Amino acid sequence: MEDNTPFIQQCNLALLPQILNQAIQTHPLNCQPICIDRSRFSDPSNPALPIYTTLKKAGCPASPDGKPGTIAELQAYCEDDLSDHPIALILYEEPTDPPPQGFDIAVLNKLARFSHPPMAVVVPQPLPECRLPQFLESDPDLIAHLLQWLQNLAR
């Protein structure tokens, strides 16, 4: 029997959050994955505000210092105000029109410096310079590998 998951059919990253949430129903985790769609960043070189907005929509508390305007302010918020929140961020880029722009390696490496929350990125090809854990969007076992990464975080 053929595997007809959306990832095999068309690499449908638009469904990544829903598919991951469905998988968590059968494989409960000790942390909440929060998927962040990079295609929604108006300024890819400074995604602090869209990441913060996504965190708040996922149930994280508001920053007592106001909305973070820089990666450094986002890092302070994540490490100070979210340190007791069991979350993990998964960055991906939904295939949209216009076509995906790709990730800014400098931004990913700034995010890799955060001590909390753990972050990973789903990419079309490996990014050799990136220090975040990477998962390939073409991986037929992408969801299983993401779940395994999330489960290993709790150890």
Given a cut of 70, is residue 10 above it in pLDDT?
A: no
Using alpha carbons, list the distances in angstroms from residue 59 to 74, 87, 97, 104, 115: 16, 10, 29, 27, 20
pLDDT in tens, 77-127: 999 999 999 999 999 998 766 677 889 999 999 999 999 999 999 999 999
